[in-house]
Amino acid sequence: MPEHVERSVRFRGRSMDYANLTDGDAMKVDCTAKGKDGQPIRADFVVRKPPGQESLNIVVPWSAARFQLNSKHNTLPCEGTIQIGDARYAMDPTECHAVQDFGRGVWPYRSFWNWGVATGVQDGIRIGVNLGDKWTTGTGVNENGLCIDGRLYKIMEDVRWSYDPTDWMRPWRVRAEHSGMVDLTLQPDVAHPSRISLGILSTRGVCCFGRWHGTVRFAGRELRISNVVGWAEEFAHRR
């Protein structure tokens, strides 16, 4: 892994070849793999950064020896194709966007977090929302922010999450109670659980993909959000 964000990354395994190849403000993604059902998967597309696009960057200081650097990028137009078996999907950069989450750090043995993202176009405006919780509590830092037409508006407060861990398909609501900058609800379309246990090392959680609805406020403006694609997740790690 490179020491800096926005650098090329390559991976080769038994069932997957993957590469992010960075060239200026563009990143070429090439991937060949096999699905669980044995179908071949091929991704060939370019992620482009619009001129002047801003990102959300934080360093979380758990202690003098443990920290995490995160660089969050969203609403990045994509152009190219993804093919699964005989089905081929074209990516239209006017409505198809990438989210990049670069991270480097030394984590505590146990960790727990929520993460939510909305990214898309609403009434001709590119809207990106990044929301987190739990893993930054007590550090004085959070990863909450809005990216509107490429400009970042930081949410300085922690946000409140409301969801039902006994039924992941029920709505997930996230609010900034003090500033009112965010009041959004995700209606999941699909819940993707993940669980790996290797003795002292484990990870478990769920990521729900769906569409966000609600309101965001920034710089004296208010925008209504409807059917913006994204996800919300809960994860716990022991490593």
DSSP code of residue 24 = T
pLDDT score recorded for residue 222: 97
pLDDT score recorded for residue 4: 83
What are phi and psi for residue 203, nearest 5 degrees? Answer: -145, 140
Q: Which of 199, 203, 190 is nearest to 234 (CA)?
A: 203
pLDDT score recorded for residue 28: 97
| Amino acid (one-letter) located at 17 | D
Domain locations along the chain: 9-238
Count of Cβ atoms closer than 10 Å to residue 167 Cβ: 9
pLDDT score recorded for residue 35: 86
pTM of the model: 0.92
Mean pLDDT per 10-residue segment, the chain (239 residues):
85 92 94 91 96 96 94 95 96 93 91 96 94 94 97 97 97 98 98 85 92 97 96 91
Count of Cβ atoms closer than 10 Å to residue 27 Cβ: 24
pLDDT score recorded for residue 120: 93
Count of Cβ atoms closer than 10 Å to residue 24 Cβ: 8
CA-to-CA dists, residue 155 to 32, 65, 130, 218, angstroms: 38, 27, 10, 9
pLDDT score recorded for residue 225: 95
Tell me the three state secondary structure of residue 18.
strand
HEC-encoded secondary structure of 54-97: CCEEEEEECCCCCEEEEEEEEEEEEEEEEEECCEEEEECCCCCE
pLDDT score recorded for residue 58: 96
Q: Which of 229, 143, 149 is nearest to 190 (CA)?
A: 229
Name the burial class of residue 101, with classes exposed (0-12), middle (13-18) and buried (19+) by CB atoms within 10 angstroms of its CB. middle
Name the burial class of residue 41, with classes exposed (0-12), middle (13-18) and buried (19+) by CB atoms within 10 angstroms of its CB. middle
pLDDT score recorded for residue 199: 75
pLDDT score recorded for residue 229: 96
| CA atoms of 230 and 80, how far apart (whole Å) | 20
